């Protein structure tokens, strides 16, 4: 009898231990969930703000109230095991400046108990940008054969970028560039339509009459720029506006 009673007590004790273990496990899971919850909260909050900024409050894209899949948030200098101090309510999130692709400052605060922390986050925004597919040399004019598009994080493109090949086709390259280069405005310019020493046509327009004569460019320039030109017939130097390749017009 003694042995049987002892066995029954052991079973009861074992059940209690199992219950205690399950309770401890649940508390641990809740603790982990709370520890990770603040990251999810910040990510969702910032992605929603960026979605509204980039798409517009009244657009169809924001009607679903869901951020797109072309943006993400990462935390700079914060380990995976870092936890915010205890807060009885949902912490408040405030941006130091207007949200933009790249590095941003964020202020996290709690009312009860009161605390405030600052942290840096990286907003990654991915877009299709124009990239060189082959080597180009200085003064080359870009064509569709030189270009392709690639998905890139625009937060790291501080010098700017182009999203469509149509924006750069026909532009002139300022310097030699390698394949894989992401094109930015500082690399390109309008093509020089007139070069110094080049023979040009000088056009003079008056009501009911248009006259063209041969001249020599005294400088180089792009469309719309004014340069000095020598009239080869009279030898007189005049100022004219470049209107096309090899053509200037006197106003």
Question: Same domain for 33 and 106?
Answer: yes
Calculate Rg over the CA atoms of the chain: 34
How far CA 149 is from CA of 54, 131, 209, in Å, comes to 21, 6, 48
Sorting pLDDT into bands at 50, 70 and 90, what band is 19? Answer: low
Instruction: Tell me which residue range forms the domain holding 139.
Output: 128-189
Question: Same domain for 43 and 81?
Answer: yes
Q: Which of 20-29, 39-48, 168-177 has the lowest mean pLDDT?
A: 20-29
Phi, psi of 121 (to 5 degrees): -125, 155
> Which tens digit of pLDDT belongs to each residue from 98-130?
999 999 999 999 999 999 999 999 999 999 999
> Which tens digit of pLDDT belongs to each residue from 191-237?
989 999 999 999 998 888 899 999 999 999 998 999 999 999 999 99
What is the distance between the alpha carbons of residues 156 and 207, in angstroms, rounded to a whole number?
54
Instruction: Compare 10 and 222 and report the one with higher pLDDT.
Output: 222
Q: Give residues with Cβ within 8 angstroms of 31, minimum separation 6.
A: none
Question: Same domain for 19 and 103?
Answer: yes
Closest CA to 204 of 172, 236, 179, 161: 236
What's the mean pLDDT in 158-178?
95
Question: Same domain for 115 and 184?
Answer: no
Residues found in the chain: 251
What's the mean pLDDT in 14-39?
53
CATH assignment at residue 179: 3.90.1210.10
- From the number of C-beta atoms within 10 Å of its C-beta (0-12, 13-18, 19+), residue 154 rates as buried
pTM score, two decimals? 0.63
């Amino acid at each position: 009898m003694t042995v049987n009673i002892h066995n029954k007590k052991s079973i009861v004790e074992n059940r209690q231990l199992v219950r205690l273990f399950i309770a401890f496990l649940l508390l641990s899971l809740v603790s982990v969930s709370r520890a990770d919850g603040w990251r999810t909260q910040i990510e969702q909050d910032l992605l929603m703000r960026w979605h509204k900024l980039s798409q517009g409050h009244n657009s169809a894209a924001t009607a679903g109230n869901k951020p797109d899949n072309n943006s993400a948030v990462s935390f700079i200098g914060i380990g995976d095991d870092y936890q915010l101090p205890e807060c009885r309510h949902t912490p408040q999130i405030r941006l130091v400046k207007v949200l933009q692709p790249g590095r941003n400052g964020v202020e996290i605060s709690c009312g009860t108990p009161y605390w405030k922390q600052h942290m840096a986050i990286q907003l990654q925004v991915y877009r299709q940008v124009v990239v060189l597919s082959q080597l180009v040399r200085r003064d080359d004019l870009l064509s569709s054969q030189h270009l392709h598009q690639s998905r890139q994080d625009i937060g790291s493109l501080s010098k700017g970028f182009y999203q469509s090949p149509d924006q750069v086709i026909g532009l002139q390259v300022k310097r030699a560039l390698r394949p894989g280069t992401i094109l930015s405005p500082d690399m390109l310019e309008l093509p020089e339509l007139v070069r110094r020493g080049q023979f040009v046509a000088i056009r003079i327009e008056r009501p009911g009459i248009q006259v063209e004569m041969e001249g020599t460019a005294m400088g180089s320039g792009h469309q719309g720029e004014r340069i000095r030109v020598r009239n080869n017939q009279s030898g007189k130097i005049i100022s004219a506006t470049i209107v096309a390749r090899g053509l200037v017009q006197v106003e």
